Every structure is written in structure tokens, then in C-alpha cells.
Amino acid sequence: MNAPTNIQTIMGPDNKPAFVVIPYAEYVAQYAKANDLIPHEVVRRALADDVPPVRAWREHLGFTQAEIAERLGVSQSAYAQQEASTRMRKGTREKIAAALGITAAQLDF
């Protein structure tokens, strides 16, 4: 059975598969998270605009502080304090990373 797919195969000059193109959202979900990659937009926002990595990730992923706070079971103001913290505890960082759907290592840059 041929199921519809969002994957495109590009053939090379030798008529063998040379490249595979997948939607960016699928790439992030499958590969970036598994490999602890950090999108350029997140790094640029954190370094050039001087925002905490947690905030850069949250904004990149399109979440509000209230949405992440709800996932963590805390108030929005409590989450805002955690997000702005320059010294976040390891356990807090891990919980926030899980709420964002990323690894804790992706917050350490």
C-alpha cells in the first residue's frame, strides 16, 4: 500500500537517491531533539538579543509563559521568575525542558 508522505527523494545524476527532503517540523521532531541540536534562531535570540535560552526556546516554539506554567503546574508569574533566572537548578531546567519538548542539554549554551 502506498501511503501519502511528506518526504521527497531527489535523484542524483546517476539516477540513485542523493537527497531526502522532509518538512522542517518533522526534522525538528525527529532529529533535532534526538541529537540535541539547537536552531540558529534560538542561538541568535539568546546571544544577539541577550535573552535567556529558556525564553528563546519558548518563543521559537510558539508557547506563552502561561502555557508552559500550566504544563509545569505553577503560576505564570512563578514561571516568569524561573525563565528570567540566571542560576536555574538542574531539576528545574529538566522540568522546563520537558515542558518545552526538548532536552535539558539544549538549554545549556
84-87 contact pairs (CB < 8 A, 24+)? 84/52, 84/55, 85/52, 86/52
pLDDT, position 1: 47
Domain count, the chain: 1
Establish if 63 belongs to a structural domain: yes
Establish if 14 belongs to a structural domain: yes
pLDDT tens by residue, 28-51: 677 655 667 888 999 999 999 999
User: What value does the mean pLDDT take over residues 92-106?
Assistant: 93
pLDDT, position 4: 56
pLDDT band of residue 83 (cuts 50, 70, 90) is very high
Q: For residues 56 and 53, what is the distance between their CA atoms, to the nearest angstrom?
A: 5
Beta bridge partners of 19: 10
Q: At 34, which CATH number?
A: 1.10.260.40
Instruction: Tell whether the model's pLDDT for residue 81 goes beyond 50.
Output: yes
